[in-house]
């Protein structure tokens, strides 16, 4: 019985060893295939090769023009990024990205299209009284106020409404002069023409003086019809509106030209707003303007642009504009704050793209055009009118072309890398090695001065020159005077970048 059991166990061990040998052979074969570069088991830290894609090389994760045929790390310990077939440089700044990576980046495109662009110009303003509708009551003679008919500021008045009664000795004297002249003219009806003409001129002079003192036509007519001279004169409102200011007090003495009342018609008001200098060119007189007031958030008041002031505020770089608004019911009060919106746009349709599609470096504007799925081309464009959401493209993009509107900055950085690699393509060596001595570190300028031995790959003799570290951490533990061994690349003509640094072993 024990012999049979031992035989069964020995058979099981033999079978297991055979299976293990077969599995090990399969894994070994897969490792050999991976070494051949067709189906590598691992292409980089955290990455696997896309199905059917051949691994080409590894590129610097910081965007430097440095590649490697095998996995490696940069000076900061970051893994180089694997580049697979279909993602290599196109030689013209274009970049190819796999469909899976496009989805992972969240790339979104939209077609450039013909649009009518409008960009409302918005500004803060304030309600002001129409200066043309302000009237001041200032008597032209000396006198006293005997009675007030309008006695409060803010009181509404109508045109011709009595304001106050005034007594003036000069006024009484002028009325009597006219009466005497008028009676003398009647008494001299049989006199010589010269005497009648003299008396007529005297009567007219007295009448003109009364009219110059703003005596009402009704009172003058009463004097001409033989009425008695009145002791006081009634002053009436020259226009309807509200009393902005009242200085008149019953019993007070006033002098010629002294303001007693100020009346304003607020049936129409102004809104003065400050528009930024850059927007003035888009404004035209007569443009419709919409005004909103915090006090009436549900109402929109419509007016027109009446005037653009010829002066600019040097501190705020703004130009005042004037909007005329009808004010039925007097809802708009002087000094109210207002929000002004002037419609500025172009009725002609232009090629436009979303504002988010434009990458602005400060010196140039670029958009990314999708040539086909996963293939993008950066294009420099010239922009025109800018709306709230879209901007006109005058050169660089045609209507119907697909432009990237999301994740374009990620693709643009990839494209810059491809262009850099393309520029290094014809050089016999991307990276160069050298040894030398660190002379100085200029932390402010971000450069180092190195005296290096001859560099065979560039046919350089021994010399002292300036380099740019790929990052500041490279020289954090190295002091001037140290012997160093380093690798460097030419990032752009005349700019040499140190990508790797070691202390030289003597």
Task: Walk along the chain (506 residues) and give the pLDDT tens digit of each residue.
Answer: 444 444 433 444 343 344 343 334 443 333 333 333 333 334 444 445 565 677 777 877 655 657 777 888 876 677 777 877 666 555 456 677 777 777 777 788 888 888 877 778 899 999 999 999 999 999 988 999 999 999 999 899 999 899 999 998 888 888 787 777 777 777 677 677 777 777 778 877 877 887 777 777 777 777 766 667 677 888 889 888 999 999 999 999 999 999 999 999 999 999 999 999 988 888 889 989 999 999 998 899 999 999 999 999 999 999 999 999 999 888 999 999 999 998 765 567 888 899 888 888 767 888 888 888 778 888 889 988 777 788 889 988 988 898 888 866 666 665 554 554 454 444 444 688 999 999 999 888 889 999 999 998 888 899 999 999 888 778 888 889 999 999 998 877 778 889 888 866 44
Domain 432-503 listed as CATH 3.30.70.100:
no
* pLDDT score, position 3: 43
* pLDDT score, position 506: 47
Q: Please report which residue ranges of 384-506 form alpha helices under DSSP H.
A: 408-423
Select from 248, 240, 234, 233 the least CA-distant residue to 153: 248
Phi, psi dihedral angles at 138 (to 5 degrees): -135, 105
Domain 95-117+348-423 fold = 2.40.420
Determine which helix (DSSP H) or strand (DSSP E) holds 288, and give its type and residue range. strand 288-293
* pLDDT score, position 201: 81
Determine which helix (DSSP H) or strand (DSSP E) holds 495, and give its type and residue range. strand 495-503
Characterize 133-167 residue by residue with b for buried, 16 or more Cβ atoms within 10 angstroms of its Cβ, and e for exposed. Answer: bebebebebebebeebebeeeeeebeeeeebbbbe
* pLDDT score, position 251: 92
Which three-class secondary structure state does DSSP give residue 29?
Answer: helix
Sign of CA dihedral 348, 351, 356, 362: negative
Pairing of strands 241-246, 156-157: antiparallel
Distance, in Å, from the CA atom of 45 to the CA atom of 253, rounded to the nearest integer, reads 98
pTM of the model: 0.50
* pLDDT score, position 310: 94
What are the start and end residues of each CATH 2.40.30.170 domain in the chain?
121-130+266-342
Q: Tokens for 432?
A: 């160069």
Cα atoms found within 13 Å of the Cα of residue 75, Cβ hemisphere only? 21
What are the start and end residues of each CATH 2.40.50.320 domain in the chain?
432-503
What are the start and end residues of each CATH 2.40.420.20 domain in the chain?
95-117+348-423
* pLDDT score, position 29: 39
Distance, in Å, from the CA atom of 466 to the CA atom of 439, rounded to the nearest integer, reads 10
Pairing of strands 337-342, 121-129: antiparallel
In order of 25, 97, 233, 498, the CA distances from 65 in angstroms are 40, 18, 97, 12
* pLDDT score, position 260: 94
* pLDDT score, position 61: 66
Determine which helix (DSSP H) or strand (DSSP E) holds 26, and give its type and residue range. helix 2-35
Place of tokens 């971000």: 446
Domain covering 121-130+266-342 in this structure, CATH number: 2.40.30.170
* pLDDT score, position 326: 92
Which three-class secondary structure state does DSSP give residue 223?
Answer: helix
Select from 414, 476, 461 the least CA-distant residue to 102: 414
* pLDDT score, position 156: 92
């Amino acid at each position: 019985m024990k012999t049979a059991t031992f035989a069964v166990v020995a058979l099981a061990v033999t079978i297991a060893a055979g299976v293990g040998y077969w599995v090990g052979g399969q894994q070994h074969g897969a490792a050999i295939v991976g070494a051949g570069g067709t189906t590598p088991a691992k292409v980089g830290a955290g990455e696997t090769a896309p199905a059917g894609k051949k691994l080409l090389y590894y590129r610097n994760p910081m965007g430097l023009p440095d590649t490697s045929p095998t996995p490696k790390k940069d000076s900061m310990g970051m893994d180089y990024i694997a580049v697979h077939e279909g993602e290599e440089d196109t030689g013209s700044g274009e970049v190819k990205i796999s469909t899976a990576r496009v989805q992972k980046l969240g790339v979104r495109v939209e077609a450039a299209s013909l649009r009518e662009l409008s960009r409302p110009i918005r500004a803060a303003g304030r309600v002001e009284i129409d200066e043309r509708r302000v009237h001041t009551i200032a008597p032209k003679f000396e006198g006293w106020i005997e009675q007030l008919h309008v006695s409060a500021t803010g009181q509404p008045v109508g045109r011709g409404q009595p304001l106050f009664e005034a007594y003036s000795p000069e006024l009484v004297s002028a009325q009597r002069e006219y009466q005497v002249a008028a009676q003398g003219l009647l008494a001299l009806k049989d006199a010589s023409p010269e005497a009648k003409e003299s008396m007529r001129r005297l009567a007219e002079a007295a009448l003109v003086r009364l009219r110059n003192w703003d005596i009402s036509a009704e009172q003058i007519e009463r004097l001409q019809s033989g009425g008695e001279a009145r002791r006081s004169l009634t002053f009436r409102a020259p226009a309807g509106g509200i009393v902005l200011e009242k200085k008149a007090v019953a019993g007070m003495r006033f002098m010629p030209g002294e303001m007693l009342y100020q009346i304003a018609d607020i049936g129409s008001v102004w809104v003065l707003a400050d528009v930024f200098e850059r927007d003035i060119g888009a404004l035209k007189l007569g443009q419709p303007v919409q005004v909103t007031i915090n006090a009436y958030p549900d109402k929109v008041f419509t007016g027109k642009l009446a005037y653009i002031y010829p002066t600019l505020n040097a501190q705020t770089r703004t130009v005042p504009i004037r909007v005329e608004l009808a004010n039925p019911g007097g809802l708009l009060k002087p000094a109210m704050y207002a929000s002004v919106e002037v419609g500025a746009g172009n009725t002609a349709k232009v090629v436009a793209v979303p504002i988010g599609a434009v990458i602005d470096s400060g010196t140039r504007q670029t958009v990314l055009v999708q040539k086909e799925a996963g293939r993008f081309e950066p294009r420099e464009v010239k922009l025109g009118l800018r709306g709230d959401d879209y901007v006109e493209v005058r050169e660089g993009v045609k209507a119907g072309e697909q432009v990237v509107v999301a994740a374009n900055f990620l693709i643009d950085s990839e494209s810059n890398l491809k262009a850099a690699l393309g520029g290094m393509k014809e050089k016999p060596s991307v990276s160069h090695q050298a040894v030398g001595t660190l002379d100085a570190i200029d932390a402010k300028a971000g450069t180092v001065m190195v005296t290096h031995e001859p560099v065979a790959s560039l046919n350089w003799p021994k010399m002292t020159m300036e380099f740019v570290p790929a990052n500041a951490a490279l020289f954090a533990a190295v002091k001037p005077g140290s012997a160093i061994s380093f690798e460097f690349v030419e990032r752009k003509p005349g700019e040499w970048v140190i990508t790797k640094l070691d202390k030289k072993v003597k």
